[in-house]
Amino acid sequence: MVTDQKPYNKINFIKDKLAIEIIILLISDMFLLSVSYEISVQTRRLLIPIIGGVMIPNLSNSLLGMLLISNFILITIKGNYPGRGTVAVIELRNLVEAISTAYFLIGGVIFLTTPVSNYSRSIFLLSWLLSCIFVPIGRFFIRKIVSLQKWWGEPVAIIGTNKEIVHLYQDVKKCRRLGFRPIVGLYLPTDEKQPKFSKLPFYPISLDILNHLHVLGIKTILVTLPPKEFRQENPGIFRAIEQNFIRSIFIMDDLSFGFLWGKPVDIEGRPAFQMQHNLLNPVTNWVKRLLDFCLTVLLFLPIMSLIVLISILLWIDSPGNIFYTQERFGLDKKVFRIIKFRTMVPDADEILPELLQQNPNLKKQYEKYHKLENDPRITSVGKWLRRFSLDELPQIYNILKGEMSFIGPRAYMREETYKIGVDGDLIFHVRPALTGWWQVMGRNDTSFNQRVRMDIYYINNWSLWMDLFIFIKTFWVMITGKGI
């Protein structure tokens, strides 16, 4: 029996409000589904004088009701209420699949039970498309804003070495959308002395404290220790975790494989995990190149209009060439010249060595980030272009030539390759791109080494869903001028 003398009896935490999380997400989903449908209805009504047709109000209302109910059921089945522990790319896939399945099923019911002419196909298709866009975006905003609340997320305990507990705590706190809230760290009795870490209480792991956490209602444990060794060295503790907690999440080593789209496999009772490397598949590479072409055709006119407008502004603001080219490494390390808007004074490359030599702080910053936060060489219009990532628009020319892709890893300079190391073998196996994972997730707040790791993460975990997620977030970055 746990007594009051036990130090961990003082573990204090705010209990999660699961019902409130679910209600907030449900209201957001149903509201945006209704908005998508209403926009489609009003659009069709405005087109009646042009293309003809009639609308039956009662049928439209009943269709909306069926869509809301079916979407609620299918999103629930996908586990997205509240969707704790689900990364953003997986949530995007789950939502689009659930919404599409709901529309497909309702469409089948209409086809089998009602004269199809009573329903507008344009309303049906447009509302499906808008729902697949609005609902995920609404989810992203909800998680970004509401996750700041102290009650957001599920209280969890972390088991591991002192160092690993601190690292995992920091990673979980950075990724609020996962919905995990660490409340205690449990280290092995054989570990070093308790660390000085004010944000999380630490206690040596024991059967008593595991039972205490179970009584408190903790359902999930994050374990940073290898499961096989942990079980062999601490069989009693391992068995107590199995018996007392609904979910045990074992953090795997940082291996260079694609975990995001992996799946568990059972081999005669032996647990295994299948990892995938989608970009090594020639078919997926062909599909990705086809999508690049389609996006280029779709966005060519809007981008060219912006290019003309920005060119005029640059010509007025600063004398010299409007465009700037630079050698970069592309697919299979082939050298090509990337094209961008010139955002610096004409002799920027010649000024840089002298600038870094005169200012040690700037030199240190450039060595870490390969960029300068307040670069004095940037022009007034150039600063505005960089903030909203518009200086990259001329790279549509590189995409048309097949030298680049819309979404992918960064295009690295010659002098940066020595810092990439062995990871370059994988990075240069993929076309560099206009935007990518680190641009929308880290932006300028990441060091060079972090960008390389994020490029490796993208390549290892690539899918069309990931590209769609990056594509959507790129617009947010361009609007706000920062990554999220």
> Could you report the per-residue pLDDT of 6-60, keeping only the tens digit for each?
777 778 888 889 999 999 999 999 999 999 999 998 888 887 777 666 555 555 6
| 111-123 pLDDT tens trace | 777 665 556 778 8
From the number of C-beta atoms within 10 Å of its C-beta (0-12, 13-18, 19+), residue 173 rates as: middle
* 3-state secondary structure labels for all residues of 398-411: HHHCCCCEEECCCC
- Segment 73-87 mean pLDDT: 92
The 10 Å Cβ neighbour count of residue 349 is 11
Q: How far apart are CA 432 and CA 403, in angstroms?
A: 8
Q: Is 86:178 a contact under the CB 8 Å cutoff?
A: yes
pLDDT of 74: 95
- Quickly state the pLDDT bin for 195 (edges 50, 70, 90): low
| 201-245 pLDDT tens trace | 998 898 999 999 999 999 999 999 888 888 888 888 989 998 889
- Percent above pLDDT 70 for the chain: 90
Give the distance, in angstroms, between the CA of residue 271 and the centroid of all CA atoms in the same chain.
Answer: 28
pLDDT of 53: 60
Does 189 have pLDDT greater than 80? no
Enclosing H/E stretch for 273: strand 270-274
pLDDT of 395: 93
pLDDT of 394: 93
pLDDT of 1: 39
pLDDT of 482: 58
Which tokens sit at 85?
């522990």
Does 2 have pLDDT greater than 60? no
Does 257 have pLDDT greater than 70? no
- Segment 143-160 mean pLDDT: 90
Choose between 261 and 455: higher pLDDT.
Answer: 455
- Quickly state the pLDDT bin for 457 (edges 50, 70, 90): confident
pLDDT of 59: 59
CA angle 412, 473, 427 (to 5 degrees): 25
CA angle 257, 260, 264 (to 5 degrees): 85
- Segment 410-426 mean pLDDT: 83
Choose between 189 and 267: higher pLDDT.
Answer: 267
Decide which of 3.90.420.10, 3.40.50.720, 3.30.1450.10, 3.40.718.10 is the CATH code for 153-251. Answer: 3.40.50.720
| 326-341 pLDDT tens trace | 899 998 889 999 999 9
pLDDT of 72: 96
Does 268 have pLDDT greater than 90? no
Which tokens sit at 420?
């990439």
Q: How far apart are CA 83 and CA 149, in angstroms?
A: 17
pLDDT of 33: 96
Residue 299: C-alpha distances to residues 132, 289, 293, 400, 484 (Å): 20, 15, 10, 12, 24
Mean pLDDT of the chain: 84
- Segment 347-358 mean pLDDT: 73
Which tokens sit at 448?
């060079």
From the number of C-beta atoms within 10 Å of its C-beta (0-12, 13-18, 19+), residue 387 rates as: middle
Does 3 have pLDDT greater than 50? no
Domain ranges of the chain: 18-146, 153-251, 282-343+378-480
Q: How far apart are CA 404 and CA 328, in angstroms?
A: 11
Task: State the angle between helix axes of 57-77 and 88-113 in degrees (0 to 180), rounded to the nearest 10.
Answer: 140
From the number of C-beta atoms within 10 Å of its C-beta (0-12, 13-18, 19+), residue 257 rates as: middle
Does 163 have pLDDT greater than 50? yes
- Quickly state the pLDDT bin for 96 (edges 50, 70, 90): very high
Q: How far apart are CA 262 and CA 116, in angstroms?
A: 41
pLDDT of 442: 67
Q: How far apart are CA 264 and CA 261, in angstroms?
A: 10
How big is the chain by its Cα radius of gyration, in Å?
27
Q: How far apart are CA 21 and CA 16, in angstroms?
A: 9
Q: Is 256:426 a contact under the CB 8 Å cutoff?
A: yes
For residue 402, is it left (φ>0), alpha (ψ between -120 and 50) or beta?
left
Which tokens sit at 45?
């009504």
- Segment 97-120 mean pLDDT: 80
pLDDT of 365: 74
- Quickly state the pLDDT bin for 78 (edges 50, 70, 90): very high
pLDDT of 192: 61
Does 433 have pLDDT greater than 70? yes
Does 191 have pLDDT greater than 70? no
- Percent above pLDDT 90 for the chain: 32
CA angle 484, 147, 35 (to 5 degrees): 80
Q: Is 183:157 a contact under the CB 8 Å cutoff?
A: yes
